[in-house]
């Protein structure tokens, strides 16, 4: 093979062991082959580092475009009362979160995460550190401690009950100025077929407050939710029904996937005791 011979003459056996040469043109000069080898080595090192730390970042903004629509609700005689010729846009919410993972042992992984957010001039943030231990192929446990709006302690666990069934459980305890806030969630899932899964989830939030002569544990919200999710290469459909306090609702969401264009379209309708909400959006992979 003249192509592999050229690589061997330039780089020796280590060059032949490098992955990714199949995308390199076979008309490269020796200098270009060396440069290509260095580029492949850099890509391999970056991939190895990312697989080790798994860094993730998320920036989210909410744009208030009310003025774009409000100005068309008035007659032309009120044009003098409308400030400016162009609509006024306002960033009403913004949040930034980031996390990294550090494998400590083959079964233990530490996670460091933080986030900051602001809404209508009020800001907040938190920092948390977690440790996950994989005890077997069918179970793992995780403990987490965080600071932000007070100290927060949390725990999670996953266990595979059978070939099709599994359970997730999580609990948190937050120390806030208004008292302790315990929370608990349990989810039982089952694989109905290759692409479909069903879930039954119960969640509740409490607040422990001190009164003049005793402590009072008050349930702030709770709910029982059943959900069916069908996820294929071309689409994902989710249907759920929740009965709870203070909200009871039904939701139907559908996502169209276009793998060849790296694009997703999503639409969702939620109807409940709070009214109705329609959501739509598009997601595209840029790099």
161-192 pLDDT, tens digit per residue, is 999 999 999 999 998 887 789 999 999 999 99
Rounded to whole angstroms, the Cα distance separating 132 from 135 reads 10
Task: Write the DSSP symbol of residue 138.
Answer: T
What are 211-251's pLDDT values in tens digits?
A: 777 777 787 889 999 999 999 999 999 999 999 988 899 99
Residues 89, 68 contacting (CB under 8 angstroms) = yes
- Position 23 scores a pLDDT of 43
Average pLDDT over residues 118-144: 93
CA distances from 256 to 60, 193, 235, 240 (A): 22, 20, 5, 18
Task: Write the DSSP symbol of residue 274.
Answer: T
Report the share of the chain in percent with pLDDT over 70.
Answer: 87
């Amino acid at each position: 093979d003249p192509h592999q011979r050229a690589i061997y003459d330039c780089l020796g056996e280590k060059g032949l062991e490098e992955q990714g040469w199949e995308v390199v043109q076979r008309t490269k000069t020796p200098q270009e082959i060396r440069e290509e080898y260095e580029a492949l080595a850099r890509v391999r090192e970056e991939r190895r580092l990312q697989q080790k730390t798994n860094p993730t970042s998320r920036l989210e903004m909410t744009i208030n475009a009310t003025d774009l629509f409000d100005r068309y609700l008035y007659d032309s005689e009120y044009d003098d009362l409308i400030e400016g010729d162009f609509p006024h846009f306002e960033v009403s919410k913004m949040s930034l979160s980031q996390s990294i993972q550090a494998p400590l042992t083959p079964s233990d992984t530490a996670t460091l995460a933080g986030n900051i957010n602001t809404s209508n001039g009020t800001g907040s943030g938190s920092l948390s550190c977690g440790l996950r231990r994989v005890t077997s192929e069918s179970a793992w446990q995780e403990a987490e401690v965080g600071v932000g709006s007070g100290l927060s302690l949390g725990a999670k666990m996953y266990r595979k009950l059978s070939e099709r069934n599994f359970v997730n459980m999580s609990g948190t305890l937050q120390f806030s100025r208004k008292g302790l806030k315990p929370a608990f969630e349990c989810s039982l899932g089952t694989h109905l077929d290759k692409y479909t899964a069903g879930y039954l989830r119960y969640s509740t939030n409490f607040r422990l407050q001190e009164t003049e002569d005793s402590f009072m544990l008050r349930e702030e919200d709770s709910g029982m939710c059943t959900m069916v999710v069908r996820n294929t290469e071309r689409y994902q459909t989710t249907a759920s029904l929740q009965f709870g306090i203070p909200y009871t609702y039904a939701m139907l969401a559908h996502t169209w996937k276009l793998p060849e264009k790296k694009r997703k379209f999503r639409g969702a309708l939620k109807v409940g005791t709070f009214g109705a909400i329609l959501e739509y959006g598009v997601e595209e992979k840029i790099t």
